[in-house]
Amino acid sequence: MTQPHLLSLGIKRKKIYRLLFLVIPAILGFLITLTLIHFLLFNEDKKNLNSDLDKMGLESRILNSEIMSALSSAKSDNSPLCSQENLNKMRRALWRDKYIKDIAHIKKNQIICSASWGTLKNPISLQKESKIFSKNFKHWKNTPDPITKNTIINMLSIGHTLILIKKDLFNKYYYKLNKNNNVAFELKTFNYIFRHYGNISPETLIKAKTGTTLTSMTKKSCANKDQCIIIKNNKMGLLGTSDSNLLIAIIVSTISGLTLSYILFLSSTRHRSQLQHLKRAINNGDIYLEYQPKLCLVTHEITGVEALARWHDKTFGRVSPDVFIDLAEKHDLMEKLSHLVVHRAFQDMSPIMKKYPDISLSINLSMKDISQGQILCFINKQAELYHIAHDRVIFEVTERTNDGVDLIEKSVAEFTKAGYKISLDDFGTGYANLSWLSKIRPNEIKVDKIFTQSIGTESINQNMLNAIFFMLQKLDVTVVFEGIETQEQLTYLTSLSTDAMGQGWLFAHPMTTDKLENYLEIHHPNFLT
């Protein structure tokens, strides 16, 4: 394949990747939002279903109580059937009932009188019953009112007493819910469905297992061992919501997905833009340095300074070193950045180190820099150019990875052979500390500030600090504590050691070379004139 074709293929792949970078978050955002809306609606349906089941259970118990009361009253009434006294007693019982439409007496399967209509001149024959539980216990399901003929009711007879039950029993709960709800009222003793609503057959409904799935819920409530209500919603959440609500959910989810995609697009654009700005800053030498003094903790004598890379961009403002150094490492810019930092540090510090022959210069390098032999050659040339003695330069390296320890060991040996010193930075937070110590054999170890700042907190880190210091005491290395900010921390560290070094805001913030010279003139007056 020719070079132009390869280039064209590479461009097409980049476009596809960028398109996928936009499309996939949009789809994920859409699906996540839609799922969230579904479960919000599902929980609302669940709450309503539980509430209505409780209400139907209560109404069922009221109906049961009314029926039992009416039957008990009829049984205890010794007056002749359909007599005025008998009718009055039935009327008094009917007036206090909520769900009983009428109480009647039957004879030879005919209604002869009722509380509402009195004694009938022409007895009314009853249709065939829906269920015969026993010789004297019968039920009529969804049958026309035998007296008025204009409504559908349920009827229950025991002996000569007939109870006419209102049609609207539970309807206000059933019809308030959506069409996906199914309700059954079961008499378990007789394996009989007393009342049923919905599109699922009653036989299937009473066999359904209680519980929930992602889209349905089945619940059962029993007033006693015999009478149970089963309710099942087989399309909950988005599946059972109205078309308008579903449309709103889709619109909201689409907006959410597009918003997520747009945020990631902006973040990616900012990242790429920041990367381009960083490349330009490195190429133009816009990365500058600040210096933080390093002191003896007991005498407060200044023993050296650490060069710290800084970047202030017109677009992004002051960018944290953690951000732009990480960006440089990910995009193979560390070699150029390290060259710039070494050059700028030697250039800045050459006149100062000439004035103060006992002050060292610490420069941060990555392990990748150290392992690449060409940087040592560059450092040697810069040291010769600016008349910097090798033994006054300390290169601080951070253990960011556990890879290639043997290669780094060889590279570090070349640095020490050239007369430079090696400091193991951020000790205690990286990889394989003991392994690095045995392989690299540094001249200096810098204990990470998280341990220094744990002093006085009685935390695990403070206990670890004591253990780290006890271990380092046995080694022939200079120990430097980073991040000293309070007198309490300083007092604690000096109680551990009288020759330890340290740096932090308690002594001095990072500063430009001009401020560093003023600082040294005040705190380190014995310089060469």
Give DSSP secondary structure letters for 383-421: HHHTT--GGGEEEEEE----S-HHHHHHHHHHHHHTT-E
- Cβ neighbors of 318 (< 8 A, separation 6 or more) are 310, 311, 312
Place of tokens 């002749």: 80
User: For residue 363, what are the β-bridge partners?
Assistant: 307, 395
- Cβ neighbors of 15 (< 8 A, separation 6 or more) are none
Torsion, CA 71, CA 77, CA 83, CA 84, rounded to 10? -90
**What is the rounded CA–CA span in Å between residue 114 and residue 188?**
30
Question: What number of other Cβ atoms are within 10 A of residue 138's Cβ?
Answer: 20
**What is the rounded CA–CA span in Å between residue 310 and residue 292?**
12
Structure-token pair, residue 268: 């990616």
Give residue-wise pLDDT tens across range 197-230: 777 887 788 788 888 888 888 888 887 767 788 8
- Cβ neighbors of 370 (< 8 A, separation 6 or more) are 395, 397, 408, 411, 412, 415
Amino acid occupying residue 476: D
- N residues, the chain: 529
Structure-token pair, residue 317: 């403002």
pTM attached to this predicted model: 0.55
CA dihedral sign, ordered 510, 513, 514, 518:
positive
Q: So what's the pLDDT on residue 528?
A: 45
**What is the rounded CA–CA span in Å between residue 37 and residue 257?**
13
DSSP 511: B
For 304, the enclosing helix (H) or strand (E) is strand 302-313
**What is the rounded CA–CA span in Å between residue 423 and residue 233?**
69
From first to last of its 529 residues, what are the pLDDT tens digits of the chain?
Answer: 454 554 455 556 666 766 776 788 888 888 898 999 999 998 988 888 888 788 888 877 888 888 888 888 888 888 999 999 999 988 988 888 788 889 999 999 999 999 999 999 999 999 998 888 887 888 888 889 999 888 888 898 988 999 998 866 666 665 555 567 777 777 665 667 777 777 788 778 878 888 888 888 888 888 776 778 888 888 888 888 888 888 998 999 888 888 887 787 776 666 567 788 888 899 999 999 999 999 999 999 999 999 999 999 888 889 999 999 988 988 889 999 999 999 999 999 999 999 999 999 999 998 888 887 689 999 999 999 999 999 999 999 876 555 556 677 888 889 999 999 999 888 877 554 566 777 778 899 998 888 888 887 777 777 788 788 888 877 888 999 999 999 999 998 998 888 889 999 999 999 999 999 999 999 886 544 4
DSSP string, 75-98: HH--SPTT-HHHHHHHHHHHHT-S
Give residue-wise pLDDT tens across range 417-472: 999 999 988 887 755 456 677 777 889 999 888 888 888 777 777 778 878 888 88
Exposed/middle/buried for residue 217 (C-beta within 10 Å: 0-12, 13-18, 19+): buried
Structure-token pair, residue 474: 């046995």
Q: Are 230 and 198 in contact (CB under 8 A)?
A: no
**What is the rounded CA–CA span in Å between residue 254 and residue 251?**
5
Q: So what's the pLDDT on residue 381?
A: 96
- Reference 169, options 63, 296, 314; nearest CA is 63
Q: So what's the pLDDT on residue 60?
A: 78
**What is the rounded CA–CA span in Å between residue 413 and residue 418?**
9
Domain 285-523 = CATH 3.30.565.10: no
Place of tokens 């007991």: 298
CA dihedral sign, ordered 470, 471, 474, 477:
negative
Give residue-wise pLDDT tens across range 159-183: 899 999 886 666 666 555 556 777 7
- Reference 504, options 308, 288, 289, 348; nearest CA is 308
Q: In what order do the strands lie in the sheet with 161-165?
A: 118-125, 110-114, 100-107, 161-165, 152-158, 137-144, 131-134
Q: How far is CA 402 from CA 40, 431, 434, in A?
A: 47, 6, 11
Ranges of each domain in the chain:
44-165, 171-239, 285-523
Q: So what's the pLDDT on residue 306?
A: 97
Q: Are 21 and 264 in contact (CB under 8 A)?
A: yes
Q: Are 60 and 223 in contact (CB under 8 A)?
A: yes
For 163, the enclosing helix (H) or strand (E) is strand 161-165
- Cβ neighbors of 417 (< 8 A, separation 6 or more) are none
Exposed/middle/buried for residue 439 (C-beta within 10 Å: 0-12, 13-18, 19+): middle
Q: What is the fold of 44-165?
A: Beta-Lactamase (3.30.450)
